[in-house]
Structure 1
Amino acid sequence: MTQAARPFGRWAVPRHPPRVHGGVDAAGPLPHDFSSNANAAGPLPSVAAAVRRADRTRYPDPQYHALRQVLAGWHRVAFERVLPVASGSAFIQQFTRAAAAWAGVRRVVLPVPGYGDYAAAARAEGLAACAYRRLAQAPPPQPGELWWITEPASPEGTTAAPLLGGWLHAAHAAGAIVVLDLAYEPLRLDRAAPGPVRTDATAWQLWSPNKACGLTGVRGAYAIAPPGAEDTAQALLRDAASWPLGADGVALLQAFGTPKAQAELAASREVLRAWRAGLASLLRGRGWAAGDADSVVPFFCARPAVPPDAAALRAHGVRLRDAASMGLPGAWRLSAQPPAAQRALADALAPADMEALR
């Protein structure tokens, strides 16, 4: 029997390791979750209220006219450049597929350490993948390449802001397609936002505000196409699954683009800044090497003298994110959490502290 004639259940399915994420796992939620990058000082009250008021009895407008008008006005871009998507991960898959089919992309260039969905989307389309560690040391962009830049980066929280303007100009001149994944831009705590994030006219922008809102259980994101790519944005919306955003996602995105939500977010950043400092101090006191000085967001990577005991962590209701699956073995990504969570973490690490002193 030829492969094309194989019955259902006997397909030649590729074997890849499962993707690892922070947050809830099969054992359920824990009260002190340092593994998720959701805004621990949230949820933003006005956004949460808007989600509660969402009308779930009707389909949203399939073209999302009102939502796109709000987002276009907030970003000061043309309505046609705004593309609502089901989630940041869904956009990564859809855009990679479209770049291969419509633009002839044959290679994806992605950050390592970084988000695993970039590589997964490239594999699904049979595209070659090339990794870079830091944008400053990355190879020159080439025609036929799709570049993913997470700004600020995860898992380490670093920023390439000083380089972005000149680098994006060079990438555009070379004919590369670039997407700035700005999932953590609203949570930037330190250093001014890079100009290209606000005004760049060459790269696509991907925004996933549910993290900043503290509502990661509500799925919804949007992309902003560069000028001249309006037709591509419209084609992506036309060819996506019908109603990629439900009523909850529409409500979250509409509320996020309001002055009230932005004021609430600014207040939460002040809280997160203090919590991040406390977390870094706690870890250093336990012999960890904390990378908070390199991070501009409420999370950073740290390396322990002795690997933390998973059973002890869970017994204290604590979850951390092992960064090995993101390409950084031996490191752990931790997000800023309230003082009660930090006390639980300190108690959970106490046995490892004793081991390190032996």
Structure 2
Amino acid sequence: MTHPLLPEHGGPDDGPAVAHDFSTNANPLGPPPALWAAVQQADRHAYPDPDYGALRRHLGPAESVAPERILPTAGGAEGIRRLTLAAMLSGLREVWVPQPGFGDYALAAQTLGLAVKPYVDSAHVRPTAPSLVWICEPCNPTGASAAAWPDLAGHLVAADRAYEPLRLQGETPALPPGAWQLICPNKALGLTGVRAGYLIAPAQDAAWAQALSLAPSWVLSAEGVAMLMHWHDEATQSWLADARAQLREWAAAQRHMLAALDWEAQLPSCTPFWLARPPRADIALRLRERGIRVRDAASFGLPGWVRVSAQPRRSQDALQQALLEIESEDS
């Protein structure tokens, strides 16, 4: 029997609904009202334009590129799969991926029989043969940001920028010249169920033509088009700025609360999610039994660690109470 290669994600499982979800890296404050109203009012009775001409003409100037260089995607995962296939068709046989990092980078390569080369930070990205190099800036699951990226000329570089709108501090490092960009606003907007994003190609070259040709017909739903049409609106960006201010406050309070409960190993992060090592190895399971979810980081190659995200004070209070109960049971 052949066993399929399947991704391992956090988030929803087949158990009872959770009351407090610290496993998600989506913005808990979303969605912004005006954008949400536009998504709800999207015309579901007709196909979107299969070429997404109006959307691309809208996004191109907002991103300071020609509209033709905008390639709509059905979220980040579809964009990762499509660009990896385009890289293979271009003759590339190695894919460099951050470790720890989002598992779909490696899985997309493994499914196509490509060699996967993990790297721990930007200083260790040293491909010798022409390669596809994935950058996640800031990185999931760590929330870390590179001080600088090497030039990487001669390679197909793809920067996943899904969490850039959730950068709470620090400056964005310059990307390698000629890098592709993968933009996925749904995390920052708290609308991860709306599968929509886009690739920005550095040029209208052979890789661009392949990535465009490989897209499924009507890759975006009407709701996805509506979300992207309002992504760059002044109201949306103002709402995001306010959200980041609130998330900074919640993240600081939550880190302080966890440290007081002996979660001393909490890694630095420039995002509202971070990696932490709880004092008990079974904490994810025991919290889940209490209707609280954290992201077990074992699938990232980090057994004993979890990823947590900043959540509202009432959820922090519930987490604190659950952790105190677990501590009391073990004492």
**TM > 0.5:** yes
Q: Distance in 1 between matches of 2:50 and 2:213?
A: 10
Contact 1:286 1:353 survives alignment (8 Å):
no
Aligned positions of 1:54-133 closer than 5 A: 54-101=42-89, 103-133=90-120
Aligned positions of 1:46-57 closer than 5 A: 46-57=34-45
Amino acid of the structure 1 residue aligned with 2:292: V
TM-score (ref. length: structure 2): 0.95
TM-score (ref. length: structure 1): 0.88
Identity %: 45
Q: Distance in 2 between matches of 1:216 and 1:256?
A: 14
Question: Could you say which residue in structure 2 is the equivalent of 1:157?
Answer: 143
Question: Could you say which residue in structure 1 is the equivalent of 2:290?
Answer: 316
Q: Distance in 1 between matches of 2:16 and 2:185?
A: 24
258, 281, 286: which one pairs with 2:256? Answer: 281
324, 328, 331: which one pairs with 1:354? Answer: 328
Q: Distance in 1 between matches of 2:32 and 2:128?
A: 41
Query: Which structure 2 segments of 5+ residues have no match?
Result: none
Partner deviation per Cα, 1:44-80 (whole Å, 9 max, x = no partner): 2222111011111110001111111221111111111
Question: Could you say which residue in structure 1 is the equivalent of 2:20?
Answer: 32
Tell me, yes or no, if structure 1 residue 345 matches structure 2 residue 330: no
Partner deviation per Cα, 1:302-323 (whole Å, 9 max, x = no partner): 0011224455413432100011
Query: Comparing 23-32 with 65-74, which one deviates more in the overlay?
Result: 23-32
Q: Distance in 2 between matches of 1:182 and 1:28?
A: 32
Secondary structure at the aligned position of 2:158 is classed as strand
Contact 2:87 2:207 survives alignment (8 Å):
no
Query: Comparing 244-253 with 309-318, which one deviates more in the overlay?
Result: 309-318
Amino acid of the structure 1 residue aligned with 2:138: P
Cα gap change, 1:139 to 1:222, in 2 (>3 Å): closer
Amino acid of the structure 2 residue aligned with 1:202: G
Amino acid of the structure 2 residue aligned with 1:213: L
Q: Distance in 2 between matches of 1:258 and 1:336?
A: 25
Shift in Å at residue 230 of structure 1? Answer: 4.9
Q: Distance in 2 between matches of 1:28 and 1:233?
A: 43
147, 161, 171: which one pairs with 1:192? Answer: 171
Tell me, yes or no, if structure 1 residue 220 matches structure 2 residue 196: yes
Bigger proportion of residues as helix = 1
Question: Could you say which residue in structure 2 is the equivalent of 1:232?
Answer: 207
Contact 1:308 1:352 survives alignment (8 Å):
no
Shift in Å at residue 142 of structure 1? Answer: 2.7
Runs of 4 or more consecutive aligned structure 1 residues displaced over 4 Å after TM superposition: none
Tell me, yes or no, if structure 1 residue 303 matches structure 2 residue 277: yes
Shift in Å at residue 85 of structure 1? Answer: 0.7
Aligned positions of 1:233-248 closer than 5 A: 233-248=208-223
Partner deviation per Cα, 1:312-338 (whole Å, 9 max, x = no partner): 413432100011101222110001100
Tell me, yes or no, if structure 1 residue 13 matches structure 2 residue 2: yes
Counting matched residue pairs gives: 331
128, 132, 137: which one pairs with 1:146? Answer: 132
Contact 1:80 1:233 survives alignment (8 Å):
no
Secondary structure at the aligned position of 1:126 is classed as coil
Shift in Å at residue 191 of structure 1? Answer: 0.7
Query: Which structure 1 segments of 5+ residues have no match?
Result: 1-11
